[in-house]
Amino acid sequence: MLEESGYEIEIERLIAIFSKLEPEPSSAIFGFLARLTGGEARTSDESLEAGWFAERLAREMPEHSVNCERLRRMLQQKSGVGYFSYRMSPFEFIQQNDF
């Protein structure tokens, strides 16, 4: 699978589902654990920078609180699949379940 960062990956498993309930339109974002298999870093319409970063630095990089929180929760998900529903105004997680 070719990732928008330019890297080729092999998905190992689904680790998280994030469901935005409010405001409309609702959306779902899926987080996967993947293994790098090739490719080279490149930017895209979705990214200004692509590369490998230490976990501490990566946690500080997202500018929006929802992106920081999604990354934090995915890095904590050691087994199973986490389901997280949230709203944006004000930003808060409403529900969390582990499967």
Q: How far is CA 94 from CA 4, 5, 31, 80, in A?
A: 30, 31, 18, 20
State the chain's mean pLDDT as an integer: 91
pLDDT for 1 beyond 90: no
Cα 6 to chain center, whole Å? Answer: 17
pLDDT for 98 beyond 80: yes
| Predicted pLDDT at 50 | 86
| Predicted pLDDT at 45 | 86
What does the buried/exposed string (b/e) look like for 55-74 if buried means 16 or more CB atoms within 10 Å of the residue's CB? Answer: eeeeeeeeeeebeebbbebb
Q: Detail the DSSP E strand segments found in 1-90.
A: 7-22, 27-39, 82-88
| Predicted pLDDT at 39 | 92
> What is the average pLDDT across 68-83?
94
Helix (H, G, I), strand (E, B) or coil at 14: strand
> What is the average pLDDT across 27-38?
95
Share of the chain above pLDDT 90, in %: 69
Distance separating the N- and C-terminal Cα atoms of the chain? 25
Domains of the chain: 7-98 (3.90.79.10)
pTM as predicted: 0.85
